[in-house]
Amino acid sequence: MLEKISIVKANSLIETSYNLGKRELLWILMQLGEINTDPENMDDELPRFKMSGSEIMRRINFDGKRRIADTTEVVDIMKNLNNNPITWETDKKMGFVSWIAYMEYDKDKDEYEWEIPRQLKPFLLQLKKNFTQYTLNNIIRLKSAHAINLYEVLKRYQFKKSFIVKVDRLKFWLGLEGSYKAWQDFKVRVLLPCQKQINTFTDIHVKYTMLKTGRRVTSLRFTITKNPKYVHILQKQQIPHLPTPIEPKTEAAKKLRQKLKAFALSEANIQRINQHYSEKQIWDAIRYTDRATKVRNKAGYLLKHLEERWMSAEEIEAQQKKQRKQALAKQKRLIAQLTNDLKALQSKKFADKQVIYEKLCANKQTLYKAYNLVKNSVMAVILQGKGPEACLKDNFARSAIYGQLEKIFPKKFAHIDTSYEKRITAMEQQIAHYKGQKYEYFLT
């Protein structure tokens, strides 16, 4: 039970800096809990830990949440613990030490062996004063490592009920030195979320006030009280017991269970899979997952396959054909729609110009001037010897005369051209764009 796992740290260890993920921090705290609660560790030496990969995975995923999907991720946790050391700093000195001094993995036995550095011994063993103690169930629901680190700082000063800390020093303790340089960013992204989580899930309730130097927030005053809702919180966050394994009754069921266990699936997930999916669906998902050689998280891949019902090669091919047909139809429909819109816009533009054409042609002098310009050009042939009035009844001759009118009176038509030009050009470009795309572009 989590309430029985007690974490004991020297206050000086809490006031250090390290930047771990929640998974790594939770795991190392579990180890510290074992050091401080195991009767065999009453001497002054830190133990050497030895554990199978499946046992480590069972412990980290103790509440059914998938913090690691398979035993290969245990190595990642150990590397992260080694690569993110504890940094300490005083007025005269600074230094750092790794969480893991040594780690060895036996691939044949799937067994890990590791040690915590001896330099941490004075901060973990036989502590009689200047230490902080809390139980693991207080931090298990906190959503980030920063929230856990802040909780430890607040527990360390809880006996004072109130304390003041510089913002830069607090960032150092939270592993955020040099980050969130703007106070508002630090407040919104770190401080407020951590405060909300601590007040919601732990045994303490915290408030803070800002202390300024000039207009700049430089320090914070934290006020810490007991959380009046703590009993209710404990009842609400009871960790469910892991389901009891159900022994398969047939050889086929036994073979299927062994295969699922080989993916490092939890008992809860194995039972859920057997309850919601047929044997054929499960074996199809297993074969699909086995072929995914580049996937590391096979358990997650298998679950996603079942939940989203990934299709067979034949189903995928049929769906692709259907999608291609729909996409091509969509492409044709969009081009036709835009083409019709373009024609309508061009017609409207001509209608606006037609009003001006007719007014100009009503003046015989203007009409004859345009007519003579056509007559004296290479376009004369389309007049077919007709007079000006007769030419207005012929489409080709009328268009030629209208063209000359625009040259004679460009300013009368300029505003119409300007008004329509951008819209017509945009439509023409969009049509060309659609015509140049492959069918995949229209799948969404």
pLDDT tens, N- to C-terminus, the chain (444 residues): 555 678 888 899 999 998 888 888 988 888 888 775 444 545 567 878 888 887 888 788 776 677 776 777 888 888 888 888 999 887 788 888 999 888 998 888 888 999 888 888 888 887 778 889 988 888 888 988 999 999 999 999 999 999 999 999 999 999 998 888 899 999 999 999 999 999 998 999 999 999 999 999 999 999 999 998 876 666 555 555 555 667 777 888 888 888 887 777 777 778 888 888 888 888 888 888 888 777 777 777 888 778 766 665 566 677 778 888 988 999 999 999 999 999 999 999 999 999 998 999 999 899 899 989 988 887 888 888 888 888 888 888 899 889 999 999 999 899 998 989 989 999 999 999 999 988 888 876
Distance (Å, whole) CA 209 – CA 164? 9
- What's the domain range around 365? 319-442
The CATH number for 8's domain is 1.10.10.10
CB atoms within 10 A of CB 166: 12
Judge whether 314 lies within some domain.
Answer: no
Best CA proximity match to 243, nearest among 64, 44, 11: 64
Best CA proximity match to 155, nearest among 173, 177, 181, 175: 173
pLDDT of 265:
75
Distance (Å, whole) CA 270 – CA 258? 10
This prediction's pTM:
0.55
* Same domain, yes or no: 300 and 348: no
pLDDT of 41:
47
* Same domain, yes or no: 297 and 184: no
Judge whether 265 lies within some domain.
Answer: yes
Distance (Å, whole) CA 51 – CA 47? 13
For the chain, what is the radius of gyration of the CA atoms?
A: 38
Instruction: Retrieve residue 242's tokens.
Output: 């892991």
pLDDT of 262:
77
pLDDT of 39:
46
Contact 104, 114 (CB under 8 A): yes
* Same domain, yes or no: 124 and 4: yes
Backbone angles phi, psi at 217, to 5 degrees: -75, 115
Q: Is 42 exposed, middle or buried (0-12, 13-18, 19+ CB in 10 A)?
A: exposed
Q: Is the CA virtual torsion 288, 294, 300, 305 positive or negative?
A: negative
Judge whether 136 lies within some domain.
Answer: no
* Strand-pair category, 111-115 with 102-106: antiparallel
* Same domain, yes or no: 16 and 112: yes
Instruction: Retrieve residue 231's tokens.
Output: 């009993």
Judge whether 194 lies within some domain.
Answer: yes
pLDDT of 34:
78
Q: Is 238 exposed, middle or buried (0-12, 13-18, 19+ CB in 10 A)?
A: exposed
Best CA proximity match to 197, nearest among 260, 240, 258, 154: 154
* Strand-pair category, 48-52 with 162-166: unpaired
* Same domain, yes or no: 148 and 72: no
Judge whether 50 lies within some domain.
Answer: yes
Rounded to the nearest angstrom, the gap between the alpha carbon of residue 383 and the centroid of all alpha carbons in its chain is: 71
SS (H, E, C) 169-226: HHHHHCCCCCCCCCHHHHHHHHHHHHHHHHHHHCCEEEEEEEEEECCEEEEEEEEEEE
* Same domain, yes or no: 198 and 218: yes
The one-letter amino acid code at 67 reads R
- Please tell me the total count of domains within the chain: 4
Judge whether 221 lies within some domain.
Answer: yes
Q: Which residues of 1-22 are buried (b: 16+ CB within 10 A; e: fewer)?
A: ebeebebbbbbebbbbbbbbbb
What DSSP letter does each residue of 125-162 carry, written as one string? SS--SSEEEEEGGGTTT-SSHHHHHHHHHHHHTGGGSE
* Same domain, yes or no: 330 and 417: yes
* Same domain, yes or no: 293 and 190: no
Backbone angles phi, psi at 51, to 5 degrees: -160, 145
* Same domain, yes or no: 366 and 290: no
Judge whether 135 lies within some domain.
Answer: no
Judge whether 438 lies within some domain.
Answer: yes
